[in-house]
Amino acid sequence: MDSGVITRKRIYEEILMNPGLHFRELQKRLNMPLGMLEYHLQVLEREGLIVSKMDGKYKRFFADRSMTREERRVMGSLRNEIARKIVIFLIENGKARHREIASKLNIRASTLSYHLSKLVKAGILAREIEGRENYYMVINPDRVAAIIIKYRKSFLDELVDNFARWYLSERK
């Protein structure tokens, strides 16, 4: 097998096991020169084995046949650690006010607003205004939880592992 095929197989397997990684994270995990990685990603995408999706300034990669469009959308958002903390907090606690989320997660109000806005735009969270308060909730918490649990090994995150244990024990 030629070295290019072996390299592409390695890249594909990393994307398959860790959907939604962005270019630099892939480069770091694979310890591969940027130009080489970029070339092989283009080949894999041209051959239809992977798809890429722009997420703000990040280009995220997914194994095309392995995920639904909804899973790609959710995983792309959850690759951000702050967004992941927010979503998990809201699944565990239900509807919450902006200031409650900021306080419990120890996130600056402006940072939180930025991430909440992105999650609402991605269709993962809904925002309700009651009086002068903004409340946020996960639109489909069971579906989002199922996606987190399905791909939990790809996060390498204790928060996700604890959430999966909690969520699965609550459903028994």
CATH, range 74-170: 1.10.10.10
At 40-52, the pLDDT tens digits run 999 999 999 999 9
At 100-110, the pLDDT tens digits run 999 999 999 99
- How many CB atoms within 10 Å of residue 97? 14
- What is the pTM assigned to this prediction? 0.84
User: Which residues of the chain form CATH 1.10.10.10?
Assistant: 3-66, 74-170
What percent of the chain stands above pLDDT 70? 97
8 Å CB contact between 144 and 129: no
> What is the average pLDDT value for the chain, to the nearest integer?
90
Site of tokens 């390695």: 10
pLDDT of res. 171: 66
> Which strands make up the sheet holding 125-130, listed edge to edge?
96-97, 133-138, 125-130
At 141-167, the pLDDT tens digits run 999 999 999 888 888 778 888 888 888
What percent of the chain stands above pLDDT 90? 65
Q: Give yes or no for residue 1 having a pLDDT over 80.
A: no
Indicate left, alpha or beta for 106 from its phi (over 0: left) and psi (-120 to 50: alpha): left
pLDDT of res. 41: 95
Q: Give yes or no for residue 65 having a pLDDT over 80.
A: no
pLDDT of res. 172: 60
Calculate mean pLDDT across residues 63-68: 78
C-alpha 139/C-alpha 136 separation (Å) is 9
Please give the residue that has the higher pLDDT: either 21 or 65: 21
8 Å CB contact between 139 and 123: yes
**CATH pick for 3-66 out of 3.90.1150.10, 1.10.10.10, 1.10.220.70, 2.30.30.140:** 1.10.10.10
At 103-148, the pLDDT tens digits run 999 999 999 999 999 999 999 999 999 888 899 999 999 999 999 9
Q: Give yes or no for residue 170 having a pLDDT over 80.
A: no
